[in-house]
A and B are shown apart, each in its own frame.
Chain A
Amino acid sequence: MGKKEIAEALGMPKDVVLGMPLITMTGNMRVNVENFKSIVSYECQSVRLLTKKGCMEIRGRNLEIEYYDEEQIQVRGIICSIEYIN
């Protein structure tokens, strides 16, 4: 039985057990990503983050990393899309 099944069986949040990224968006102005591993690339129009589920790309305009810490990163700007790149 894998971690996923155990988490489902015990009803525990998967972001805690599996380290899944948790994304919180405020309109299209701000996005907060928890459980990310590192920054892959950082440009004005895109920020790529490495997560356990793969590489996530935040696309938009005038993107700026507002702050980061060990667990989360917050990106500000005009956000157009968020997608996983495999």
Chain B
Amino acid sequence: MEKKDRILGFIVIRVTSDNKERFINMCRFKDIRLYSITPGDDYIEAQMAAKDFRRLREVVRKTKSRVRIIKKSGLAFMAFRYRKHYSFVAGIFLCVSFLYICSLFLFNITFSGNISLTQPVLLRYLDSIGVKNGMRISTIDCDMIETKMRQDFDEITWVSATVKGNHLYVYIKENDGYLNAAENLQSQNSSMQSGADENGGSAVSEISGSNIVATQNGIVESIITRSGTPMVKKGDEVTAGQILVSGIVEIYDDAGELMTKRAVNADADILVRNETEYSDTLEAAYEQKVFTGRKKTVKTLAFGDYILNIGFEKPGFKMYDTVYNYKNVALEENFYLPVAFGSRTYYEYELVQSEYTDEEAAGILNKNLNTALSEYLENNVQILDNRVRILKNNDAYVCEGTLVMLTPQSEKSPLTQEQLQMPQDDAEGEEEKESS
């Protein structure tokens, strides 16, 4: 049977006849389709489309059969059956109206392609430019969203916003290398600026060069200077804040006298060997969360921001974890309703006083140490020696010791006017004071 007939209306008939085969053959010749024909002793039962029933009259007359409808199904019969149930009709009307109204508003926003920009950040941003769940779809300007997002987020290189049904899709492409590129550009600009200053002479009052200074005490392990004047050599002991490579380049004439001083951005690869104390403490006693296995689930219905609990409200546990699980109702992929259903499950637990075993404590402290070491490694610090030991001290485990490291030095400090001053200037100044 065709799907349309099955939905609109079909009937099951019982035909009682001495010649049921003739009945079927005549139906066939008159193009009246019968389906699922099952034989009985002196009857057959069959399904047929309701619209063909009246056409059976001639067949029934000729075959002297009796036809009885034993079942009616489909929308047409249901509508007829409930025609006087006004609330039912009103319900259908309300349902259709509700769906229509829902289709006018935005109920879901999906982002894809975002890596560094998280969904809450983007949702807050869209909210700030007036695009949020519940707004009229007709007022959404996708071009405006695209333009504003490109303007306001430097990370975004391409964005596309489309509305499908009542669902807004925002496709984003981020430029991963953007920040690095920006830093490079900035450093290039500053070096160009310093180059221009060098060529343009000392008329510019602002000093653009910089020194490299030590960030911690230690011994210089290696130094390769590309730009600037090295102030230390391999094996020298340095203290934090000391200038390692000066941004002042002194230029001497043939007689070996100082002619001028130039400001440059000091650039060098410097490794300083230093020792850092590491210490971490873990209390042996702790409170362990032990789940009792008891849990309670409450079904919930959410209409926008309003959440309705179905059933009991309080879990009745002293201590519990709560797990939320919600799902938006969608009639189809792009047609969301402002209704979400789901559950809230409470898992009861008890706090039990426990004590770490030596292995557990060592595992936790080692994990913390490895995290600290990996942070150093991320900053290009080499660990030469790890003299950290784990000891049990009364009620606590202590992880302490010394880390021997090779730390690259790249901290810059600005040049001062005094550093650029020529020694003669100072002498002349003193002479002038004396004469006056």
- Interface flags for A47-80 (1: CB within 8 Å of B; 0: not) read 0000000000000000111111110000000000
Any B CB within 8 A of the CB of A86: no
Any B CB within 8 A of the CB of A42: yes
Q: Could you say which of B20, B28, B44 contacts A68, with CB atoms under 8 Å apart?
A: B28
On whether the beta carbons of B36 and A70 are closer than 8 Å, the reply is no
Any B CB within 8 A of the CB of A40: yes
A43: nearest residue on chain B (CB-CB)? B39
Question: Which size bracket describes the interface of B in this complex?
Answer: 10 to 19
On whether the beta carbons of B33 and A67 are closer than 8 Å, the reply is yes
Q: Could you say which of A39, A64, A68 contacts B38, with CB atoms under 8 Å apart?
A: A64
What is the bound-complex CA distance between A44 and B44, given in angstroms? 10
Instruction: Name the distance in Å between B406's Cβ and chain A's nearest Cβ.
Output: 78
A67: nearest residue on chain B (CB-CB)? B35
Taking CB atoms, residues of chain B closer than 8 Å to A64 are 36-39
On whether the beta carbons of A69 and B33 are closer than 8 Å, the reply is yes
User: Given A39-B21, A42-B24, are A66 and B35 neighbors across the interface (CB < 8 Å)?
Assistant: yes
- Interface flags for B2-42 (1: CB within 8 Å of A; 0: not) read 00000000000000000011001100100101111111000
What is the bound-complex CA distance between A21 and B313, given in angstroms? 70
Taking CB atoms, residues of chain B closer than 8 Å to A67 are 1, 33-36
Taking CB atoms, residues of chain B closer than 8 Å to A43 are 39
Count of A interface residues, CB-CB < 8 Å: 15
On whether the beta carbons of B25 and A38 are closer than 8 Å, the reply is yes
Instruction: Name the distance in Å between A32's Cβ and chain B's nearest Cβ.
Output: 15
Any B CB within 8 A of the CB of A41: yes
Instruction: Name the distance in Å between A49's Cβ and chain B's nearest Cβ.
Output: 10
Taking CB atoms, residues of chain A closer than 8 Å to B24 are 39, 42, 65, 68
A37: nearest residue on chain B (CB-CB)? B25
User: Given A64-B37, A64-B38, are A42 and B28 neighbors across the interface (CB < 8 Å)?
Assistant: no
Instruction: Name the distance in Å between B44's Cβ and chain A's nearest Cβ.
Output: 7
A36: nearest residue on chain B (CB-CB)? B28
Taking CB atoms, residues of chain A closer than 8 Å to B39 are 42-44, 63-64
Taking CB atoms, residues of chain B closer than 8 Å to A65 are 24, 34, 36-37
On whether the beta carbons of B35 and A42 are closer than 8 Å, the reply is no
On whether the beta carbons of A42 and B33 are closer than 8 Å, the reply is no
What is the bound-complex CA distance between A6 and B1, given in angstroms? 39
On whether the beta carbons of A42 and B31 are closer than 8 Å, the reply is no
What is the bound-complex CA distance between A42 and B24, given in angstroms? 10
Taking CB atoms, residues of chain A closer than 8 Å to B21 are 38-42
What is the bound-complex CA distance between A15 and B211, given in angstroms? 98
B28: nearest residue on chain A (CB-CB)? A68
On whether the beta carbons of A42 and B44 are closer than 8 Å, the reply is yes
Instruction: Name the distance in Å between B223's Cβ and chain A's nearest Cβ.
Output: 86
Taking CB atoms, residues of chain A closer than 8 Å to B33 are 67-69
A44: nearest residue on chain B (CB-CB)? B39
In the complex, 5 of the A-B residue pairs with CB atoms within 8 angstroms, ordered by the A residue number, are: A38-B25, A39-B24, A42-B44, A64-B36, A65-B36
Give B contacts to A, CB under 8 Å: 1, 20-21, 24-25, 28, 31, 33-39, 44
Closest 3 A/B residue pairs (Cβ): A65-B37, A38-B25, A39-B21
